[in-house]
Amino acid sequence: MSAGAADPPFFSIVMPTYQRRESLRRTLEALARVEYPADRMELVLVSDGSTDGSLEMARSLGMPFALRTLEQRNQGPAAARNLALDSARGPFVLFVDDDVLVSPGLVAAHAAAHVEGRARGRGEDRVVIGTLLPPDVLRSPWVQWELDTGVKQYDAMLEGRYEPTPRQFYTGNASVRLEHVLGAGGFDVDFKRAEDVELAFRLEKRGLRFVFRPEASAVHMADRSLRSWMGAAYQYGRNDVVLGTRRGRPDMLGAIAREFWERNPLTRLLVRGGLRVPGVERVLAPPAAAAASVALRLRRRRLSHSVCSALFSLAYWRGVGDELGAPSAARELIRQGAPS
C-alpha cells in the first residue's frame, strides 16, 4: 500500500476491471499524474474475475496514492463497484473506468465542484459529471458514433440547451458523496448495462442535483466489437422498459416513445419495418457496419453516424419489444408517442 493510507482520503476512486490489463495500465499511469494531493485520494480497484494478471500489474506500478485491490468471481461491473463501495474510506466517491485516461486536473475539478455545492446556502449535495472525450485516433464507426454523440450532449449542456440529467451519469467519469450512493442501495446487480443510469435516477429521487463540469475532462479509449455494441443497444432497450414498469419511472415509456419521433425519418421507417421481421438487425449489421466504415474512411462522418444511429435504434427497439413481450407492443408504444 502506498503512503497516505493512514488518514481518510477525500476521494475514493472506484474502478472495476475485467480482462483489460494493458488498458488498465494506461489508465493507472494517467491517474498517477493527477495534480491532487496524494494523501487526499485512494484507489479501490476490483478485479471482476480477471485472469490476465491485471491486479499483479497494478500492484507493481507503485502508485503515489493509496491503492487497494479486491477480487471477486465474474459478476459484472455493478457487483464489482458495490464491493469497492463497501470498503471505500472517503466521504466522496469518484467513478473511473479502466479504459479512461483522466486529465491532470480531473480530480481537483471534481473536488472543487463539490466544495462549491456545499458552500451554497445550507449546502447542496450534487452529482458531478465530467467529460468522456474521443481520442485523436478514429475508432470503429459504431464506437466513434457513440463517442461523438456524447460530445454533442456536452456541447448542448455547455450552451444551456438542457440541464444534465441522470441520463448523462456515466461511471467512466462521475462523482458523488458516498453516503448517497449507499443510501440509495448501491448499484442494482440485475442490470448488466446502464446500471449507472439506473442508480442515477435513484440519486435524483434523493434530491441530488446533477451538474456538469467540462474541466473534469478525460479521454475515453473505448473499444468494443460490433456484436458487443449491438448487444448493448438491445439491453438498453430492455432496461428502459424495466425502469418504466418495475423501477418507479412510469414516465420512461412515454419519454422513449416521444424520442423515437425525433429520429431521422429513414431511421423511423427502418425500425418500424424491422420490428416486423425477427432477427433482421443481425442480418443488416455486418453490411451496414462495412458501409459505415467506408464512409468514415472517406471523411463522410455524418453519413457513417447516420448508419450507426439507425442500427442502434433498431437493436434498441428490438430490446424494448422483447421486454414488453412482443414486437407489436413496441410498435404500439411508438404509435402512442406520435406527435398529435
DSSP 147-203: HHHHHHHHHHHHTTSS---GGG--TTEEEEEHHHHHHTTS--TT-SSSHHHHHHHHH
Is 2 inside any structural domain?
Answer: no
Q: Do 241 and 274 lie in a common domain?
A: yes
**Chosen domain end from 220, 237, 260:** 220
**Neighbour tally for 227: CB within 10 Å:** 11
Domain match, 17 and 61 both: yes
Residues 213 and 285 in one domain: no
Q: Is 193 helix (H, G, I), strand (E, B) or coil?
A: coil
Residue 116's pLDDT is what? Answer: 85
**Domain count across the chain:** 2
Which contiguous run of DSSP H or E holds residue 249? none
Q: Looking at the domain assignment, is residue 6 inside a domain? A: no
Which of 191, 220, 249 is the C-terminal boundary of a domain? Answer: 220
173 lies in the same domain as 25: yes
Predicted local distance difference test score (pLDDT) of residue 234: 96
Block residue for cell numbers 500500500: 1
DSSP-assigned beta bridge partners for residue 176: 93
Domain with 312, as residue range(s), is: 226-336
Q: What is the pLDDT along the chain (340 residues), one digit of tens a residue?
A: 343 444 568 999 999 999 999 999 999 999 999 999 999 999 999 999 999 999 999 999 999 999 999 999 999 999 999 999 999 999 999 999 999 999 999 999 999 999 987 666 555 789 999 999 999 999 999 999 999 999 999 999 999 998 999 989 999 999 999 999 999 999 999 988 889 999 999 999 999 999 999 999 999 999 999 999 999 999 999 999 999 998 878 889 999 999 999 999 999 999 999 999 999 999 999 999 999 999 999 999 999 999 999 999 999 999 999 999 999 999 999 999 999 7
Q: Do 216 and 237 belong to one domain?
A: no
Please choose, from the candidates 94, 119, 98, 121, the residue with its C-alpha nearest in 3D space to the C-alpha of residue 213. Answer: 94
pLDDT at position 119: 67
Does 288 reside within a domain? yes
For residue 202, the one-letter residue type is R
Place of cell 471523411: 299
Angstrom CA distances, 154 to 48, 88, 282, stand at 30, 29, 31
Question: Are 90 and 128 within one domain?
Answer: yes
The answer to whether residues 216 and 230 belong to one domain is: no
Q: Which of 188, 205, 220 is the last residue of a domain?
A: 220
Query: Which residue from 39, 172, 185, 18 is spatially nearest to 101, judged by alpha carbons?
Result: 172
Mark whether 199 and 306 lie in a shared domain: no
81 and 103 in a single domain? The answer is yes
* Structure confidence at residue 258 (pLDDT): 94
- Is 100:65 a contact under the CB 8 Å cutoff? no
Is 115 in the same domain as 176?
Answer: yes
Q: Look at phi and psi of residue 248 and say left if phi exceeds 0, alpha if psi is from -120 to 50, else beta.
A: left
- Which residues, other chains included, contact 238 with Cβ-Cβ below 8 Å and sequence gap of 6+? 319, 320, 322, 323
Q: What secondary structure letter does DSSP report for 299?
A: T
Q: Are residues 83 and 194 in the same domain?
A: yes
